[in-house]
Amino acid sequence: MFKRLVALLSFCLMGLSPAWSQDAQMDLQRVPLGAGMYKIDAQVALAPREREIGLMYRKEMPQQEGMLFVFEEPATQCFWMKNTILPLTAAFVADDGRIVNLVDMQPQTTNSHCSEEPVRYVLEMNQGWFAKKNIKKGLKLTGTPFAARR
């Protein structure tokens, strides 16, 4: 009987996982960023659990929104798209806001996409957003996360 209860509870919790993740995503702190003349409303994934959930299960995201992942120390950061439905582009960003590299990532894959050098920040946007705005490697993003480190 106990094993059945545990199995049922586990099944129910698995079913709630995506909804919980979406709620957790929406409650994140936000920070305004700039990319040239373009403004970005970025949710901030600061805690390990927030970074782990990221944009998983999200079905849509407005074009001017993104998610900024913040790590404690600069390091080679690698991302994948397991349980992520939206096609995204990751901008790997140095402490001063410089885009180190941009990588398009396909939904629901486990391919690893890494920074070309150690970075503390990764900004995920809808795939194609950077290309449509002609934003390339080397451009410096602006905003409070980068201002203190210039």
Q: How far apart are CA 112 and CA 122, in angstroms?
A: 14
CATH 3.90.550.10 for the 2-147 domain, yes or no: no
Query: How many helical (H) and strand (E) elements, i.e. helices and strands, does the chain have?
Result: 4, 9
What residue spans define the domains of the chain? 2-147
Predicted structure pTM score: 0.83
| Token output for 99 | 């885009």
CA torsion sign for 116, 43, 127, 85 is positive
- In order along its 150 residues, the chain shows pLDDT tens digits of 333 333 333 333 344 444 444 455 568 999 999 999 999 999 999 999 999 999 999 999 999 999 999 999 999 999 999 999 999 999 999 999 999 999 999 999 999 999 999 999 999 999 999 999 999 999 999 999 998 655
